[in-house]
Amino acid sequence: VVTAKRPPVIWLSFQECTGCVESLLRSSHPTLEHLLLDLISLDYSETLSAAAGHQVEEAKADSIKANKGRFILVVDGAIPTKDNGIYCKIAGKTALEILKETAPHAGAVIAMGSCASWGGVAAAGSNPTDAVGIVELLPKQKVVTIPGCPPNPYNLLSTVLYYITFKKLPELDEKGRPKFAYSRIIHENCERRPHFDAGRFAQQFGDDLHRRGACLYKLGCKGPETYANCPTVLFGETGAGTWPVGIGHPCFGCTEQKVGFQTPLFTLA
């Protein structure tokens, strides 16, 4: 059922791992039920819609028709472009076709995660399906990017609620990222920064300095070249230190197009 009162949202998932949706499911303010039942009308989501099959495809088509220029489109996952996009099909259509028949009618388009922003994991290494992000496929539209792998759910929620409240998008940087979330480098707000400044570096995982919270720069930390609010917003609602660097893993730059997925960690054979 399409409601006219709550702002309509259509969420399309393509070459993805569902980590972006899982990230949203772990947010608590607003709670997911408050978001879905009171604040927005989620008219289509492969993961969260109660309907399935023809029924949910109809709901999507009805929502696009009824809410032209008004609905918020969220996309997670990359789009394969090789061989006319046949490597990702939903309800008989390629991801390419679905994006192109949906995005031009949206009021706002948001790429959730690094895959939707610029290809991410699907485009890593030899990129066997010629996967790209939606920014590349929608050159005439303004696309908000919320990169991260997974991205922080509060960066999506804040963008959506800002748009609903002020009827415009928040200020974006040159890569389409909201400045409120991506204008500072990780290194600026990292709790290990005093160790960096004092020259105390972990040399290998599990060594004494690693155990004592020293800087992870020599283990490959990309915090000095990565823009994101991970150290201040944190993940998973479990308190101080709950972000990758906080628990002892170097930042691998997942919010940066030219850093995160160029690392050996994500180079596929």
Residues that bind ligand SF4 (CB under 6 A): 16-17, 19-20, 76-77, 113-115, 120-121, 149-150, 186-187, 190, 192-193, 196, 215-217, 221, 223-224, 245, 251
Q: Say how far apart CA 218 and CA 201 lie, in whole Å.
A: 6
User: Interior CA angle at 144 toward 98 and 155, to 5°?
Assistant: 115
Task: State in angstroms the smallest separation of the CB of 162 from ligand SF4.
Answer: 21
What does the angle CA 46 – CA 47 – CA 53 come to, to the nearest 5 degrees?
Answer: 40
CA distance 113 to 177: 11
Minimum distance of ligand SF4 from residue 173's CB (angstroms)? 18
Closest CB 64 distance from ligand SF4, rounded Å: 23
Locate 6 and state its tokens: 């709550």
In the bound state with ligand SF4, the residue whose beta carbon lies nearer, of 64 and 157, is 157
We find the least distance from the C-beta atom of residue 117 to ligand SF4, in angstroms, to be 8
Q: What is the DSSP string of 200-257?
A: -B--STTSHHHHTT-B-GGGT--GGG-B--HHHH-STT--TT-STGGGT-----TT-T
Q: In whole angstroms, give the CA distance from residue 5 to residue 129.
A: 40
Nearer to ligand SF4 by Cβ, of 21 and 64: the residue is 21
Question: Which residue has its beta carbon closest to ligand SF4?
Answer: 223
Task: Select 174 or 197, whichever has its Cβ closest to ligand SF4.
Answer: 197
By beta-carbon proximity to ligand SF4, the closer residue of 64 and 216 is 216
Nearest distance in Å: CB 59, ligand SF4:
23
Contact in structure between 193 and 251 (CB atoms under 8 Å): no
Q: By C-beta, is 10 or 186 nearer to ligand SF4?
A: 186
Residue among 99 and 149 whose Cβ is closer to ligand SF4: 149
Separation between Cα atoms, residue 51 and residue 255, nearest integer Å = 33
SS3 of 113, please? coil
Report yes or no: 8 and 67 within 8 Å, Cβ to Cβ. yes
Q: Helix 95-102 crosses helix 53-66 at what angle (to 10 degrees)?
A: 30
- In angstroms, give the least distance from the CB of 188 to ligand SF4: 8
Number of H helices, E strands in the chain: 12, 9
* Minimum gap (Å) between residue 147 Cβ and ligand SF4: 8
